[in-house]
Amino acid sequence: RYLKIPKLGYVKTSKTGVLQNTKIKRYTVLLEPTGKYYLSLQAEISEPEKYSLTGKRVGIDVGVADLAILSNGLKYPSFDSSYFEKKAKIWQKKYSRRRHLVKLLVLQNKNKRVLCPRSLESFANWQKAQKSKAKYQAKAANQRRDYLHKLTTHLVKQYDVIAIEDLKTKNLQKNHHLAKSI
């Protein structure tokens, strides 16, 4: 249940079973804007198990309406995280408004030469909006990442050879109507 890390001590974790016969080479501690800490480990492990061969081949075409269309006609729909994106947009507006007001108050204190001027970090309402905005953005990003990981793992298990169309996505993203879906 715990992982002992030099200079940090014991860290509570849920994935200790995976790390039983491994040697940890390097670690990185990351503080997310949501206020959560994440630990990334670089570990030396034995050879991972390989998937059995299926003898199947497939080509993948990236689409705008659908995320991927396979050469055998199977379609994978685009990921929809509109709920959390909408919430993040609302909190982004609140965050921007509150930050603007805080900056004005800080400038007023500076101009009036107040004895104890407040800094940006002393305003809790602005920080609350920042945390909420980050929470919803992270939730949408995590769901999108989970969907893509599950999809790619499924494709790798099903097919031996996967051919993907070569797209210049940078050029396609210049079209502002399609940039987000691409």
**Residues present in the chain in total:** 182
Report residue 142's pLDDT band, with 50, 70 and 90 as the boundaries: very high
At residue 87, the pLDDT reads 94
Least confident of 8-12, 65-69, 153-157: 8-12
Q: Does position 1 have pLDDT exceeding 80, yes or no?
A: no
Report residue 37's pLDDT band, with 50, 70 and 90 as the boundaries: confident
- Percent of the residues in the chain that have a pLDDT greater than 90, as a whole number: 36
In this prediction the pTM is 0.74
d(CA 146, CA 74): 20
Alpha helices in the chain (DSSP H): 82-111, 124-158, 169-172
Report residue 117's pLDDT band, with 50, 70 and 90 as the boundaries: confident
d(CA 19, CA 40): 13
Report residue 52's pLDDT band, with 50, 70 and 90 as the boundaries: confident
> Quick check: helix, strand or coil at residue 53?
coil
* CA angle at 94 for the pair 127 and 104, rounded to the nearest 5°: 70
Mean pLDDT, the chain, integer: 85
At residue 112, the pLDDT reads 85
Q: Does position 60 have pLDDT exceeding 80, yes or no?
A: yes
Q: How many CB atoms lie within 10 A of CB 130?
A: 19
At residue 120, the pLDDT reads 79
* CA angle at 49 for the pair 16 and 57, rounded to the nearest 5°: 130
Report residue 181's pLDDT band, with 50, 70 and 90 as the boundaries: low
How much is the average pLDDT of 64-69?
83
- The string of pLDDT tens digits covering residues 13-32 is 777 677 777 888 888 888 88
